[in-house]
Structure 1
Amino acid sequence: MDLAVVLVGVFCLLLSVVLWVRKRLTYWKEMGAPYEEPHFIFGNLKGVGIYDHDGQLTERFYRKHKNKGPFVGVYFFLSPVVIPTDLEFVKSILVKDFNYFHDRGIYFNEKDDPLSAHLFTLPGLRWKRLRTKITPAFTSGKMKLMFPIVVEVAQRLEDKISKVAEVGAVMDVKAVMARFTMDSIGTCAFGLASNTLQDESSEFFRVGMSVFDNPRHGTWFLFLLIAFRELAGKLRFKLFRDEVTKFYTSIVRKTVDYRLANNVQRNDYMDILIKLHTGADEGPLTFNELLSHAFVFHSAGFETSSTTLQFCFYELACNPDIQERTRSHILEVLEAHGGELTYEAMVDMKYLDQVICETLRHYPPAGNHFREVTQDYKVPGTEFTLKKGTSVMVPVYAVHHDPEYYPDPLKFNPDNFADENVKARPFAAYMPFGEGPRICIGARFAMMQVKIGVIAGLRRYRYTVSTKTRQPLKLLSKIFLASVEGGIWLNVERIE
């Protein structure tokens, strides 16, 4: 009798759970919105982190449901998520109605995992206050001050490429470009001479690369943390491995202590963070806050820029006519500026801009931009109201590969960014750095760094694709940022 009661109780509990889950997964259907039929357990995330990069997953939903309404409803496990399929709605989310979407809704754990609470993840007023104070570090005037420092690092990049060409070896483009971007950001932002281009066994390089190559969690689990943020926080999940936290804490602590003890001022990003840390204004940064903002600028900055450089050199190697045109353009502009790479010469390289923009279109560093509905929001032109707390994924990769905006979207075509073509496209058809108030604060620095990297690597060297590179390229599914399975390997030949 007792066993029968227990079995009935267990059955009733399981039935209740099943009915509750089914109810959760009818959210979009009951609203009457276009939606993708979900899996009972995974929602619409089946395959993410195993087969699909998240940008390519949302591209499938975008293409299937485009023109059926301003968005399609999907699920992260049991949580409803909006994928906008109309660029006017994207504009509303990122710009026009930003006050309804000012948070990203990404999991972070400030107490146990200080590296995770930075400008990218912070919500509301904390984000706004810090953004306002940090923005002066990224003005065009600051870029001019940093320019010669990056050029100096780029000279070491040329030396590195020269050694590869001399011995006829193939070049792991990602590794070489990551050393360049890691050194330039380390020098410009923190005054650190990491010297990873010269030191093959650099601890700085090993730990920095491990943030993305050996993450604590894969994409699938990160989506789980986003979907169940409150529970994840109570369980005190961390995003970064302890080795990474320990290493960056030590580096930043030593830099801060040295500058304060010796009254060192370099007018760089670290200076601004230190002033916010030691200043008398209301709510100075704690050391952990300073640490997290320093970490994200360095780690995300070197990774996204090196990835862009990797894809750029790959496409130039695949398209020798574009490679030759780009090289000729660089040399012509340099000659017009007396043979010297100046800030003004870099700005004048318009075709180089087009090449890099096309690279970012084809391979946006992040396949999606995350937002969260911060108060109930009525979708313009519809009867749908998005409830507070609903997640939004702006499908960057999908929009960048939409033939409506880019004819033959799989073809690498820098002319997509000729002035007349840019003007003909709607707002938000190109958004590798995001748009609106939460656009990437380091976008200007990233573009400068990538342009200098291409100039340094291309003006004296020719590239072809090595047989070691697996083609067609396949994006790694385990991380959010675009990366290639097996890497990209190129043959390098010096041009006499």
Structure 2
Amino acid sequence: MELFTVLVAGFVCTVVLAFLFALKRNQYWADRGIHQYKPLPFLGDMLPVLLRQKTLGEHLMEMCRAYPDEKVIGFYFFMKPSLVINDLELLEKVLIKDFSHFADRGPQPKDVVHMNLFSTTGNLWRAIRNRFSPMFTTGKLRFMFPQISGLGEDFMNLLRTKREKVDMVDYFGKFATEVIGVTAFGLEGRAMEENSEFRVKAKKIFEPSFSNYVRFVLGPSLMNLLGLPPTNSELLNYFGPAVKNALKYRRENGVVRHDFIQHMVTLQQKGTIEVDKDDVSDEILMMDHVPEMKVEMSDNLMIGQSMGFMVAGFDATALTMGWLCYELAMHPEIQSQARQEVKEVLEKHGNRLDYDTVREMKFLSTCLKENGRLHSALDVNFRMVTKPYKVPDTSAVLERGSFVYIPNLSIHMDPKYYPEPEKFLPDRWIAENDKSSCKYLPFGTGPRMCIAMRFANMEMMCAIAKLLLKFEVSIHPSTKLPPQIEAYSFFTYPRDKLYFNLKKLNA
């Protein structure tokens, strides 16, 4: 009986001490003179997200609206104190001017899949970025366009028999996966086939699910500590050999193509990729801002980079096109205007669709940009502090290993920057003179921005232009309006499917 009493007393004391520690932890930012929201013991500010009431981006936007005049807001990712950046000037320092203090997205996962530009850290990230940026120059994109355009025709043929209740996010996913399969894995004719294994495996990477959300919440450090793989091992077992086989085939048969896997083979053989004549638009790659580093171009590094292309090029691209399809269906007058522009540009160039003619479709480009503001694939981003940083105008110092959160959704929906932010208004970008890169963040900004941004935009412009020529798109009555975002998702997936009707147009 005495032992039982001792055990109960010990348990109660442990619970009380843990609770008191959690309460003290929740005062971290208040003790440093920084406003914070409403953290709960152990859960911090994450309860609405766990209950699927809000996405993390929606929750951070609510916090920013509660403290509109505060440059930073204390945020608790469970029991980890972090900061939300609520000021564009400070955000510019974090992402660009003081980048050396915020150079990484988080700890480096140990598995091969995360050996890519999104996940790598420190000198390894710098070396990879320096090596891979030349893959996305204007000259390289121009060479790859015919391949993507051909896949776009295959995509139109796939839609030819579809008329009602079409899940366009899923079909755009098939197209985007095929593009990545061809350009990053050297595999053709896989993703658009019925019950394609390549497509099924690709969907598992970031599909909305509780298990994928747990991986995101725990992060690579805790996953490694618990002995759990940061990525589903089934995916590595499938995509790893796919990349190795493609590399082996290219080397043994002397096959040369204008795609990413060819550039990686060239990197492995020569150590560099030749850059074509300079194009002013290539400045966005910031190739001169990343110091030269040495890195061995191993097969594992190539597998990781191919997986990085898969993640960015499949989920994010397919979702963005799906949301643009939704906005065009909801605004038929804008859809008609975009279609008319596509026709006029093609007629001007003898019905030739190539890299340069797509760039002339200015109104369609503004539609894509406005869609990126309203429906960014990531409604929140983050950076890890890599060396201590004193928060301007406060006494607080961010410690190494802590995180800052970038509320993409809050910025994109702020009427200070975008009048009538809830409306889809492509024309707002025609007269846009504000050069601040920190108020538009679908691809990020600064050295850590997505270097494949122009490739993704080229792919999406090509697919949407072809779609507008072939079909008139409208919302199917079964689509739930307004659509809600799935909280258990890394990307902004709709909670319920978006269904469309496709009316075939005369040629």
Moved more, 315-324 or 42-51: 42-51
Counterpart residue identity of residue 188, structure 1: T
Match for 2:150: what amino acid? E
Q: Is the 8 A contact 2:208 2:493 kept in 1?
A: no
Asked if structure 2 preserves the Cα contact closer than 8 Å seen for 1:53 and 1:480, the reply is: no
SS at match of 1:213: coil
Note if contact 1:76-1:223 (Cα within 8 Å) is conserved in structure 2.
Answer: no
Counterpart of 1:196, as a letter, is A
Counterpart in the other structure of 2:125 = 127
16 and 445 in structure 1: CA distance in 2 versus 1, 3 angstrom threshold:
same
Is the CA contact (8 Å cut-off) linking 1:277 and 1:290 kept in structure 2? no
Is 1:265 matched with 2:256?
Answer: yes
**What is the identity, as a one-letter code, of the residue corresponding to 1:485?**
R
Note if 1:209 corresponds to 2:203: yes
Corresponding residue of 1:174: 169
Cα pair 1:54 1:480 within 8 Å, conserved: no
Write the distance in 2 (CA, Å) between the matches of 1:300 and 1:335.
Answer: 33
Count the aligned residue pairs.
483
Could you list the structure 1 runs, at least 4 aligned residues long, displaced by more than 6 angstroms after superposition.
Answer: none
Cα offset for 1:415? 1.1
Q: Which residue type is aligned with residue 149 of structure 1?
A: Q
SS, match of residue 438 in structure 2: coil
The Cα offsets for residues 307-358 of structure 1, whole Å up to 9 and x where unpaired, read as 1111111111110110111101111111111221122211111111100001
SS of equivalent residue, structure 2 residue 503: strand
Moved more, 359-368 or 168-177: 168-177
Distance 1:277 1:339 in 2: 39
1:454 to 464, 468, 486: 464
Asked if structure 1 preserves the Cα contact closer than 8 Å seen for 2:152 and 2:175, the reply is yes
8 A contact 1:71–1:82 mirrored in 2: yes
Amino acid at match of 2:478: K
Aligned-residue CA RMSD in angstroms?
2.0
C-alpha distance in 2 between matches for 1:170 and 1:2: 66
SS of residue paired to 1:80 = strand
For residues 272 and 339 of structure 1, what CA distance do their matches in structure 2 show?
31
Question: 1:238 is matched with which residue: 205, 211, 229?
Answer: 229
CA deviations over 1:36-75 (Å, ceiling 9, x no partner): 12011210011215222221111111111121x2110110
Tell me the SS of whatever aligns to 1:206. helix
Structure 1 match to 2:281: none
SS of equivalent to 1:438: coil
Could you tell me which residue of structure 2 aligns to residue 51 of structure 1?
53
Match of 1:411, SS? Answer: coil
Secondary structure of the corresponding residue to residue 200 of structure 1: coil
Displacement of 1:145: 0.4
1:54·1:368 contact (CA, 8 Å) conserved in 2? yes
Cα distance in 1 for partners of 2:202, 2:189 equals 11
| Distance (Å, rounded) in 1 between the aligned partners of 2:262 and 2:435 | 40
Match of 2:279 in 1: none
Q: Residue 183 of structure 1 aligns with which residue? A: 178
Residue 215 to residue 266, structure 1, CA distance change in 2 (3 Å): farther
Structure 1 residues 8 and 278: alpha-carbon distance in aligned structure 2, compared to 1, 3 A threshold: farther
Whole-Å Cα distance in 2 between the matches of residues 324 and 449 of structure 1?
21
SS of the aligned residue for 2:47 comes to coil
In 1, distance between residues paired with 2:486 and 2:65? 21
1:284 deviates by: 1.1
Q: Alpha-carbon deviations, 1:341-397, whole Å to 9, x = none?
A: 122211111111100001110000011111011111112233332222211110001
TM-score by length of 2: 0.91
Q: Secondary structure at the match of 1:163?
A: coil
Give the whole-Å Cα distance in 2 for the aligned partners of 1:321 and 1:128.
45
Distance 1:251 1:238 in 2: 20
The answer as to whether partners of 1:194 and 1:204 remain within 8 angstroms in 2 is: no
Matching of residues 17-416 of structure 1 within 5 Å: 17-49=18-50, 50-67=52-69, 69-105=70-106, 109-110=109-110, 113-164=111-162, 168-197=163-192, 199-213=193-207, 217-219=211-213, 221-226=214-219, 230-277=221-268, 282-416=294-428
Question: How much has 1:271 moved relative to structure 2?
Answer: 2.5
In 2: Cα distance, 1:9 partner to 1:350 partner: 69
- Residues 4 and 306 of structure 1: CA distance in aligned 2, closer, same or farther (over 3 Å): closer
Which amino acid is the alignment partner of residue 224 of structure 1?
Answer: V
Contact in 2 for aligned 1:101/1:372 (Cα 8 Å): yes
Q: Is the 8 A contact 2:164 2:476 kept in 1?
A: no
Provide TM-score, normalisation by structure 1: 0.93
Aligned partners of 1:157 and 1:457 also within 8 Å: no
Contact 2:223 / 2:230 at 8 angstroms: preserved in 1? no
Once the two structures are TM-superposed, the CA of residue 88 in structure 1 deviates from its matched residue by: 0.5
Q: Which residue matches 1:492?
A: 502
Contact 2:382/2:403 (<8 A) preserved: yes
Q: In percent, how many aligned pairs have the same letter?
A: 29
Q: Distance in 1 between matches of 2:468 and 2:258?
A: 31
Tell me: CA distance 1:449–1:173, structure 2 relative to 1, closer, same or farther (3 Å).
same
- Give the distance between the partners of 2:8 and 2:474, measured in 1 at CA: 67
Contact 1:361–1:432 (Cα < 8 Å) also in 2: yes
- 2:108–2:121 CA contact under 8 A, matched in 1: no
Shift of the alpha carbon at 1:267? Answer: 4.3
Report the secondary structure of 2:44's partner residue: coil
User: Secondary structure of the residue that 1:428 maps to in structure 2?
Assistant: helix
Take 1:378 and 1:453, find their aligned partners in 2: how far apart are those partners? 46
Cα deviation per residue 1:412-459 (whole Å; 9 max; x = unaligned)?
1101211x2x21474411111000000001111000000001101011
Distance (Å, rounded) in 1 between the aligned partners of 2:498 and 2:109 = 34
Q: Which deviates the most, 296-305 or 310-319?
A: 296-305
User: Deviations along 1:12-36, whole A, 9 cap, x unmatched?
Assistant: 3333322222222111010010111
Q: Deviations over 1:144-185 (max 9, x none)?
A: 000111111111122222221xxx333210111111111122
Q: 1:438 aligns with which of 422, 429, 448?
A: 448
Residue 215 of structure 1, CA deviation: 5.1
Report SS of the residue matched to 2:442: coil
Unaligned stretches of 5+ in structure 1? none
CA gap of 1:280–1:407, structure 2 versus 1, over 3 A, is closer
Rounded to whole Å, the distance in 2 between the matches of 1:3 and 1:339 is 84
Q: Aligned equivalents of 1:395 and 1:368: distance in 2? A: 5
Q: Which deviates more from structure 2 when the two are superposed, residues 404-413 or residues 356-365?
A: 404-413
- Give the Cα separation in 2 of the matches to 1:426 and 1:286: 38
Q: For 1:126 and 1:215, how far apart are their aligned partners in 2? A: 31
